[in-house]
A and B are shown apart, each in its own frame.
Chain A
Amino acid sequence: MKWRQQLLARFRSLFRKAELDSEMDAEMRLHIELQRQENIEGGMAPEQAHDAAVREFGWLESVKEICRDQRGVAWLDNLFQDVFFGLRMLRKAPAFTAVVILSMALGVGATTAIYSVVNTILLNPVPGTQPDRLMQIAEQNYTQGLFAKENNMPAFYGVSPPALEALGDAGDFFSDFAWFDSAGMERSAGDFTENEGGAWVSPNFFSLLRVQPLLGRTFARDELTPVDENRRPIGDSVIVLSYSWWQSLFGGDPYIIGKRIKLSGQHFTIIGVMPRRFQFPAGYTKFWVAAEPLRERPNFMTPANTRVLVRLKPGVTQQLTESRLQMLAQRLTQDHPVSKWGYGQEWARRPHGLGFWIRPLRFEFQGGYGSEDLRRTLFGLLGAIGFVLLIVCANIGNLTLARTEKRQQELGIRCALGAGRGRLMRQLLTENLLLACMGGLAGLVVTHWALKLLVLMIPSHMPRLKEVSVDWQALGFALLASLVSALIFGLAPAWRAGRAQLGEVLKQAGTATTVGVGRGVYRSGLVVTEIALALVLLTGAGLMIQSVVRLLHVDPGFDPQNLIYVNLQLPWKTYNDPEHDLQASGRRNVLYGQLHDRLASLPGVIAVGMGKHSVWPEKLKIESQGAVVELLRDGCGIGASDFFRAMRVPLHAGRYFDKRDIGAGADTAIINETMAQMCWPGESPIGKSFGGQSPYGVCKFQVVGVVDDLRDQRYDQSVKPIFYRPCHELRLEGLAPFIVIRTQTDPHALVSAIKKELKETEPAMEMPGIQVVRQVLYDSTQAQRTYMLYMAVFAIVGLLLSAIGIYGVLAYSVARRTREIGIRMAIGAQRRQVLGMVMGQGARLVAGGIAVGLLAAFWLTRLLKRQLFQVSPQDPIVFGGVVLVLFVVALLACLMPAIRATRVDPMTALRYE
């Protein structure tokens, strides 16, 4: 009961503040009056009696304030008061408020957005509880790069059919077991057959990942697509669509469930659509179909690409599973010493025989193709943003410190009027919290937009299981960091103000002649830190920008303007028949000739070239040298269909191919610059020969020409040693040829005409890939350009923030020293000398910051080494440029307060007293 009355009383006191205050006043005045009367009765003169009574009572307002505190909800009352007062104070200092809110918004927003992406995509991509119980299993395997040195990196692929079967039977340590594999299906689209990419999965694939479809349902246990031994569908079945395919192919039709789609000659009934965030195993996965695992290896497939997903049973550790898998591998090796499909033989050829690796599923997202680039980019951005956040904290600290110090006098007066130290601290705390709240809100807005931008940077092939959304922990951390810096630097001076002798504060604030050394040190330290941080940030950004500029100026080895690249998809049977190779290659050459003539006769086409890229190097010997080298063998058309001429690849020596190079005995080759440098350094390679054992017998080639290195897909692609042979002579059956078309004007206009000619020449052709080369090359630098842009923005933000920081310190110092400067000028100091004095003070801070920053930058930029293209992490131009820019900007920031100092009128300054 009692507490309820108390509470009531407290809240009453909140709303009856004025009434209670006047009651209190009346009560105390009565006290003084009664005391006065008593004094008179005691024999004092009336005036004396009054003075004595007042004196004895003590400072009325101070007593009242203490009483108000006792009255109850003073804290709530004070809070309202503080909030309104705080808002008024902030409105009175709009520049300060804006800068603090803006820096907080940038710091908090950008940090949170980037951390959210890094966390969702790389650190913690698997949804649901206990994501680390979800494991992947693969056979121990190695990369299959083009060259020997690239060939031995551990690679996490998948398992072969016998291993999949054995794993599926070893159910006692998995609570669930699923697999997936890539799937290709043909769909007729207009004139061509489109090859659509999706995934074969086990029916429980979705339930293991614990994802629900957006529409419809996923597979039942027995909904398996009937397939032949090469896993081509041989009967109607059901299919689950990805969100993006549902959108692009069906326009997001809400009544899609139950409709049918024809793929690879069979009808598939659509039973479900997955949500947009579910992009697994790849960003471009269009559909999922369920099937039995393959029992035997199809003849054209690589042996171990069925990916296995398991959920470990509670209590089963990764180590335990590893040892069980080891036993499984031993048993499999014994069971399949020599099998029909050759698994046993293949396992025996591996360096350590058959073995298994197991890792949490999350690594799938960190190790996929292209994710290395993305990971480096995101971590680079995270580093940059960390620096921005540090600068933001230093800046907020600096500004709050300056502001509170400027208010020493105000605080002193309020202290004198009866405000306790706690009360003052509370007031400042409220003000800083207000600022932090506004900054935080603005930060949320920045986070929202920055996330939208960042998601665009994620390459389409990156798998995703989760929506990229604001990471609240990161937001909390960033908010807390800026809040703490505001509080520490905002409250420290208030603490001192409360402690200091009132008279001292009042006197100092009014007539200070020189700045006290003690508090200057903190602020100078902050400015030095800020400049050092900005220097590191600028250096990192400068190196990245330099690197991208170099990248964009790389000579691709040809003229990419007005050039189209066509990848042909020829019907396998007609043009690649190993049993009747002579007929097949005859048909190929006829087709190439027809294609060349038809395309070359299109209006607007200047030249058409043909070529083939090989994917496997050959080990050949250079005559007159002992060592065996690995070389790529690419194909090239001859005469008019020579792709060097169409692409305008400069010839360094010798000649292009012509009719002389076709036919028995004409074993000629053109080599690229890299091969020339590698095999015949310092000599002319023309007329030199090389050769050895190739899969097609003994061969020997004579060099007739040297061409420039080609970078036709990416500017930063590393160039391999390549020799070219005429396509006619090249017996690389499996390779589809490519065509390059040089056009007179905008190549985009010719795309549909080219498609039509191709279809008419070979009606059985699948949808060809047609690319405008310039666009491909430009897109290849997309990530770097975006990265450069972000880095540049961060660097500029950092630079501006530290300029604001140094400006704040100097402006404050000049304001404090107005009287000192006045005296100096009164006794004869020239404006120039005053300017020099202030600038000197600024320059010392800047120089200190630059020195510290340079040391840090030298040490830190090494981490950027792998992201840099043709730029050294200690590039002197970048370092020099950054120091110069920082120095100039910082001195400009010093200039304004310095000029203000010279405008000090000695008379006014001295009269200030």
Chain B
Amino acid sequence: MSKDKMDLLQGTLDLLILKALKLGPMHGFGISVLIRQMSEDVLRVEQGSLYPALYRLERQGWISSEWGVSDNNRKAKFYKLTVAGRKQLVEETSNWEKLSRAINLIVRPA
């Protein structure tokens, strides 16, 4: 495990999952790998947080799931973004941008 691994900021996991699923339907393991890779191995999602978050997002109707076959021919549950999920992603992205801009303003004053 790399030293510069970071804990996720509270509330950002939903955004990351939605963002990952925007690339297409995928299963839980795929999501966790994708997040790790996209963040250049900095962000690691605990499975104890990932699955409850997936179930929560599904309940809120932002993602839906169906069983399919994985790359290596195994039965797997695939999650995909719903219409409502796309809207939510837009909203959360803009929220995040506002937040990171605000933090940057403080941390790196011009």
Could you tell me which A residues sit within 8 Å of B by CB distance?
2, 5-6, 9-10, 23-24, 26-28, 30-31, 33-35, 37-38, 56-59, 62-63, 66-67, 69-72
Contacts and interface: CB of A to CB of B under 8 A. Distances in A.
6 contacts: A6-B61, A27-B77, A30-B76, A31-B47, A58-B47, A58-B48
Contacts of B101: none
Given A62-B48, A63-B48, A27 B55 contact: no
Given A5-B61, A24-B51, A35-B29, 18 more contacts: A6-B59, A10-B59, A30-B27, A30-B70, A31-B29, A31-B47, A58-B47, A59-B48, A62-B48, A63-B47, A63-B48, A63-B51, A63-B52, A66-B48, A66-B52, A67-B51, A70-B52, A72-B59
Given A66-B52, A70-B52, A27 B28 contact: yes
- Judged by DSSP, the binding face of A is helix
A871 B76 CA distance: 87
B108 interface: no
Interface in B39-76: 46-48, 51-52, 55-56, 59-61, 67, 70, 72, 74-76
Contact of B29 (A5, A23, A24, A30): A30
A37 B70 CA distance: 14
Contacts of A67: 51-52, 55
The 8 closest A-B pairs by CB, nearest first: A70-B55, A34-B29, A58-B48, A31-B29, A66-B52, A57-B47, A70-B56, A27-B77
A71 B47 contact: no
For chain B, which range describes its interface: under 10, 10 to 19, 20 to 34, or 35 or more residues? 20 to 34
A60 to B, nearest CB: 9
Contacts of A38: 33
Nearest to A62: B48
Contacts of B27: 27, 30-31
Contacts of B46: 58
Contact of B74 (A23, A33, A56, A66): A33
Residue among A30, A59, A69 having the largest count of chain B Cβ atoms under 10 Å: A30
B84 interface: yes
Contacts of B51: 24, 27-28, 63, 66-67
A71 B55 contact: yes
Contacts of A31: 27-29, 32, 47
B30 to A, nearest CB: 8
Contacts of B61: 2, 5-6
A732 B55 CA distance: 100
A9 B48 CA distance: 23
Interface in B15-38: 27-29, 32-33
Contacts of A57: 47-48
A66 B53 CA distance: 10
Nearest to A38: B33
Nearest to B61: A2
Contact of B76 (A6, A27, A66, A70): A27
A70 B59 contact: yes
B29 A26 contact: no
A34 B34 CA distance: 13
B102 to A, nearest CB: 30
Contacts of B48: 57-59, 62-63, 66
A558 to B, nearest CB: 89
Contact of B59 (A26, A59, A71): A71
Interface string B68-92: 0010101111000000100000000
Contacts of A30: 27-29, 70, 74-77
A476 B61 CA distance: 42
Contacts of A56: 47
Contact of A9 (B32, B59, B72, B77): B59
B70 to A, nearest CB: 7
B87 to A, nearest CB: 12
Contacts of A63: 47-48, 51-52
A481 to B, nearest CB: 40
Residue among B32, B33, B47, B56 having the largest count of chain A Cβ atoms under 10 Å: B47
B11 to A, nearest CB: 16
Contacts of B72: 37
A33 B59 CA distance: 26
B80 to A, nearest CB: 15
Contacts of B28: 27-28, 30-31
A16 to B, nearest CB: 14
A573 B16 CA distance: 112
A35 B29 CA distance: 8
Contacts of A37: 72
